[in-house]
Structure 1
Amino acid sequence: MDELIRQVFTAARGMWKYRWLGLLVAWVVTAIGAFVVLSVPDKYEASARIFVDTQSILKPLMSGLAVQPNVEQQVMMLSRTLISRPNVEKLVRMADLDLKTQSKAAQDALIDSLMKNLQINNVGQDNLYVLSYRDTSPEKAKKVVQSLVSIFVESRLGDTRKDSNTAKQFIDEQIKTYLAKLEEAESRLKEFKLRNIELQSADGTDMAGQLSAVSAQLSQARLDLREAENARDAARQQLQAEQAQNADITSRSLLQESAMSIATPELDKRIEAQKHSLDDLLQRFTEQHPDVIAARRLIAELEAEKKKRVDELRKAAMANPAPVSSNSLAYQELNRLLATSEVQVAALRARVAEYEARFSRARNMMKTAPEIEAEYAQLNRNYDINKKHYNDLVARRESASLSGDLDNAAGVADFRLIDPPRASPKPVAPNRLLLLPLALLAALGAGLAVTFIASQLRAVFYDARSLREAVGLPLVGVVSMVMDDSEARQEKSDLKKFLGASGGLVATFVAGMIIFSMMSGRAG
């Protein structure tokens, strides 16, 4: 510590030797600093405050119907990216700042300067933004802030509309694509159904179910046929027994005529009924329809049965000339029952034949049914996927439209200009009352630095220890300088002059500060 103090005192004695040089430098630097501070042009600040109201009653009302935009995040991102080069170029044109710039370099320099001086700050967390700019002209600063406010408000609305339109255009293109796919899938499904119309059923059962149903119907028809045949045989046996009991020739003749008259009308009625039924079927189906084919087959069988019955009755009448009693009620009833049984048997045979054909066709189709059903399932799956995507895209397009209308609606994000652009009446920069004392301190520092450098350039030893350490030789002795009275008076006079000059520097600076402060107060 003592060594440090000794070195400080040694340096101070060396600097004292060049005190007048340091004082001169301080005066010059003070004058230059004061001139520079006073020559800096005044800058005026223009500012505006904008409040972004993001709370709207439309948001809860439209919840679930439209995509809710994150307005706070959008506005915050906009505030951070507002001072970009394209926006600043637009601001230069809006504020007519490019009228005095003739070259491209001058325009670039103007844009760079604006990007450095423009400021946008978020005050707290209340969506309150302050836009400010400083310039030597208060009118120019105000015009710049006005243009910046317009860009701040219009940029978000323009970007929102652009994003909404882009989203809707993209969704419309996708809807057209999926609509074409959906129509193509519907066309393939229609062609498949027309090509495999025989495999379709009203209740939607598959081929296995249809085969099982046809098999059950065939079994039931065969059972009904056996029952009808048994009933017919029983009626025929009873009729033969009745005929054996009647020996009268006249009665047999009458019975023969009665049998012929009874059997033939029943078959004719049945044939007529089947023909009416065939006419109804032809009005609804084609000649190749299974029901039409079955009806024609039944009519042919009934006509053949009628012909056969007539021939049998004629042969029986000719072979058995026994008298027939047409007046017997039992005979008439048995004959009618036999005719009815014959018609029923014929109808059931036709039904069994039809069901057997259907069963055969269904069994043959079962061989290709798995492949056809797999193809149908694939077509249905593709159709369902395309339909689902199409419906989702249509719903999203409506949601995008509602979202765009919601985002552009009044009150969703309301920009309120709290403080319109206004330039400060007093300059806000530079702060000369602060810069001038700093200039004085810089001048004093420069003077001390000059004296220190000068003392180091022309070093002088002020004690024996420093000399001995520097040369590394033993020191024999030291001769002290003794000043007489005139030299002492001269030394005191020089000290007074130095202190006066130093005090004059400080006094002059303080007086200048007071005068400048008074002038600034009057100007304000």
Structure 2
Amino acid sequence: MNGLFDEARAALFSVWHRKWIALGIAWGVCLLGWLAVAAVPNSYQSKARIFVQLDDPLAEQIGIGAGDRRRDIERVRQTLTSAINLEKVVRSTRLGDGIATPKQMEAMVLDLGKAVKVSSEQDNLFEITATSTDRHLSDAESAKLAQDIAQKMIDIFREENLAGGRGEMAETLEFMNQQLADRQKQLETAEQRRLQFEAQHPELSQGGASLLQRMEASRMELRGLDADIAAAQSALAAINGQLAGTPQSLIGPGSGGAKSALSEALGQLAALKARGLTDSHPDVIAARNQVAQLRTLAGAEGPGGGVPNPAYSSLQSIRAEKAAALQGLLTRRAAAQADLARTSGQQVANPEAAAEAQRISRDYDVLKQQYDKLLLDREQLRLRGQVETERSAVKFQVIDPPTTPRKPVAPNRPLLLLAVLVVGIGAGIAGAFAVGQLRSGFHTTGRLEKALGLPVLGAISHTMTDAGRALAQRRLKYFMAGSAALGVVFVLLLTSEFIQRGMVA
């Protein structure tokens, strides 16, 4: 431990003994470092935030979804820092002053691309950051330039999303009109070919429908008619069943006889069946036997003594109506079968003409479908373009305008000045120590004894006269003044830096 203490004391004595060398090195390093720090230009940064409103009920109604608009905005954000847009910024700000050659413009665009950043904080919130670093401009001018760059980027962002989208919509509509014109010419040619063929083969012309289409339509009609005929036959059979169980005449009040008893027995039998009793039930068997006996008696009694049954008359009318409907369906089915047979006969009699008719009709149908689809798409695009143009489906709002920089973001000059001072003092101490190590000398008796390997009997202290002490004190004052001057220069530089920042603000 004593050895380490002796070494530290020897090092301090060596440095103090050569304090003027340390002070000179510190001054040299500090002056060079402070000059280098002063040569670094200040960088000023301006920020702005843009809010993009994507919700629009009318736009959603016509198919302009928020996802589509979000993708468009993201595309514009990614291309905002393209060379073309950055060149617009250079030409519209002070960055373009003094640029005369394309090479200079290219270099300036590259530098600006590193100084401009567009980031998205959320899906519809964007931040534009512009940094200005120009050694030829004053701090106030550089701060104003950063603000101008941010404002120009906002203008370009708005133009790219509004005017750019309208231009793309106009180009799309022009392309759709051209395609529609081409399809219209092809459709007119196919129409003329179809009319000429129908004039040559009138038996194969059915309003443009092909033989296969007509045959398929006839088959579908036949299937539908068969289903309707089956339903009509079932309904007619049901009516006939009701007529069979309905008497033609009713016995009036107060009149007796077998017919009246038969009506009552039939009502009782119907009531028993309505209760859910089966034919094997004893009550049902007894009622049926009674009905059979009464029928025999009523037949022997004769038709007299009753009034017409209105239910029976109504059922007869319904049966006549159902029979007429069934006959109409049978007639339509016969006509459809005849048309199908005639169409099949035409296809068999002239297969080449039938094939040609099918091909012409098929080409015409395909062209007609394409034309109708293009026409519908064109109208939808036109409506979408009108909505985007007149209603501005994407709305911009600058929630934070470009800020005016109050202080530079880089470099951190006070910290750099302090770092240079610390490095300068450290370099001075290291230099003085290195010089002491290069020169042969022993500052303590322990180092001398260690170096010679012999015991040291004693040391003679250095004595000074009054004149020597006065000279030493004067030199110490000069050294303290030089050291204090280094600190004063540091304080002045810091003061100057803060005064310049105040002038910018």
Which residue does 2:462 correspond to in 1? 486
Which residue does 1:152 correspond to in 2? 157
Alignment map for 1:368-387 (pairs within 5 Å): 368-387=349-368
Q: Residues 50, 67 of structure 1: CA spacing in aligned structure 2 closer, same or farther, 3 A cutoff?
A: closer
Structure 2, unaligned stretches of length 5 or more? 216-341, 444-450
Q: 2:401 aligns to what SS in structure 1?
A: strand
Match status 1:80 vs 2:78: yes
Match status 1:407 vs 2:383: no
Which residue does 1:319 correspond to in 2? none
Q: Kindly indicate whether the alpha-carbon contact (under 8 Å) linking 2:119 and 2:127 is maintained by their aligned counterparts in 1.
A: yes
Which residue does 1:101 correspond to in 2? 99
Q: Kindly indicate whether the alpha-carbon contact (under 8 Å) linking 2:177 and 2:378 is maintained by their aligned counterparts in 1.
A: yes
Which residue does 1:122 correspond to in 2? 120
Which residue does 2:58 correspond to in 1? 58
Q: Kindly indicate whether the alpha-carbon contact (under 8 Å) linking 2:47 and 2:128 is maintained by their aligned counterparts in 1.
A: yes
In 2, distance between residues paired with 1:14 and 1:402?
A: 91
CA offsets per residue over residues 108-142 of structure 1, 9 Å max, x none?
Answer: 44433333323333334442433434354044333
The one-letter amino acid paired with 1:400 is L
The one-letter amino acid paired with 1:74 is D
Q: Kindly indicate whether the alpha-carbon contact (under 8 Å) linking 1:131 and 1:149 is maintained by their aligned counterparts in 2.
A: no
Q: 1:486 aligns to what SS in structure 2?
A: coil
Q: Kindly indicate whether the alpha-carbon contact (under 8 Å) linking 2:80 and 2:157 is maintained by their aligned counterparts in 1.
A: yes
Q: 1:424 aligns to what SS in structure 2?
A: coil
In 2, distance between residues paired with 1:382 and 1:147?
A: 55
Q: TM-score, normalised by structure 1?
A: 0.53
In 2, distance between residues paired with 1:68 and 1:126?
A: 10
Which residue does 2:251 correspond to in 1? none
Q: Kindly indicate whether the alpha-carbon contact (under 8 Å) linking 1:14 and 1:455 is maintained by their aligned counterparts in 2.
A: no
Q: Kindly indicate whether the alpha-carbon contact (under 8 Å) linking 1:50 and 1:419 is maintained by their aligned counterparts in 2.
A: yes
CA offsets per residue over residues 448-487 of structure 1, 9 Å max, x none?
Answer: 775788799999999xxxxxxxxxxxx9956779642119
Q: Residues 19, 141 of structure 1: CA spacing in aligned structure 2 closer, same or farther, 3 A cutoff?
A: same
Q: Kindly indicate whether the alpha-carbon contact (under 8 Å) linking 2:22 and 2:432 is maintained by their aligned counterparts in 1.
A: yes
Q: Kindly indicate whether the alpha-carbon contact (under 8 Å) linking 2:211 and 2:358 is maintained by their aligned counterparts in 1.
A: no
In 1, distance between residues paired with 2:14 and 2:370?
A: 90
State the 1:98 CA deviation: 3.1
Q: TM-score, normalised by structure 2?
A: 0.55
In 2, distance between residues paired with 1:384 and 1:14?
A: 108
In 2, distance between residues paired with 1:70 and 1:144?
A: 29
The one-letter amino acid paired with 2:375 is V
Q: Residues 155, 15 of structure 1: CA spacing in aligned structure 2 closer, same or farther, 3 A cutoff?
A: farther
Q: Kindly indicate whether the alpha-carbon contact (under 8 Å) linking 1:132 and 1:145 is maintained by their aligned counterparts in 2.
A: yes
Match of 1:162 among 167, 171, 191: 167
Identical-pair percentage: 26
Which residue does 2:273 correspond to in 1? none
Q: Kindly indicate whether the alpha-carbon contact (under 8 Å) linking 1:67 and 1:399 is maintained by their aligned counterparts in 2.
A: no
The one-letter amino acid paired with 2:120 is N
State the 1:158 CA deviation: 2.5
Match of 2:412 among 431, 434, 447: 431
Which residue does 2:109 correspond to in 1? 111
State the 1:402 CA deviation: 2.2
Q: 2:399 aligns to what SS in structure 1?
A: strand
Structure 1, unaligned stretches of length 5 or more? 210-360, 463-474
In 1, distance between residues paired with 2:56 and 2:457?
A: 92
Which residue does 1:25 correspond to in 2? 25
Q: 1:485 aligns to what SS in structure 2?
A: coil
Q: 1:161 aligns to what SS in structure 2?
A: helix
In 2, distance between residues paired with 1:14 and 1:397?
A: 94
Q: Residues 165, 364 of structure 1: CA spacing in aligned structure 2 closer, same or farther, 3 A cutoff?
A: closer
Q: Residues 412, 375 of structure 1: CA spacing in aligned structure 2 closer, same or farther, 3 A cutoff?
A: same
* Larger Rg, first or second structure (1 or 2): 1
The one-letter amino acid paired with 1:33 is G
State the 1:413 CA deviation: 0.9
The one-letter amino acid paired with 1:187 is Q
The one-letter amino acid paired with 2:185 is A
State the 1:97 CA deviation: 4.4
Q: Kindly indicate whether the alpha-carbon contact (under 8 Å) linking 1:15 and 1:452 is maintained by their aligned counterparts in 2.
A: yes
Q: Residues 67, 428 of structure 1: CA spacing in aligned structure 2 closer, same or farther, 3 A cutoff?
A: closer
Alignment map for 1:175-186 (pairs within 5 Å): 175-186=180-191
Match of 1:196 among 195, 201, 208: 201
Which residue does 1:232 correspond to in 2? none
The one-letter amino acid paired with 2:86 is V
In 1, distance between residues paired with 2:166 and 2:190?
A: 36
Q: Kindly indicate whether the alpha-carbon contact (under 8 Å) linking 1:47 and 1:421 is maintained by their aligned counterparts in 2.
A: yes
Q: Kindly indicate whether the alpha-carbon contact (under 8 Å) linking 2:116 and 2:128 is maintained by their aligned counterparts in 1.
A: no
Alignment map for 1:41-440 (pairs within 5 Å): 41-63=41-63, 70-95=68-93, 97-134=95-132, 136=138, 137=141, 138-200=143-205, 368-440=349-421
Q: Kindly indicate whether the alpha-carbon contact (under 8 Å) linking 1:67 and 1:403 is maintained by their aligned counterparts in 2.
A: no
State the 1:434 CA deviation: 1.9
The one-letter amino acid paired with 1:27 is W
Number of residue-to-residue matches in the alignment: 355
Q: Kindly indicate whether the alpha-carbon contact (under 8 Å) linking 2:421 and 2:490 is maintained by their aligned counterparts in 1.
A: no
Q: Kindly indicate whether the alpha-carbon contact (under 8 Å) linking 1:171 and 1:397 is maintained by their aligned counterparts in 2.
A: yes
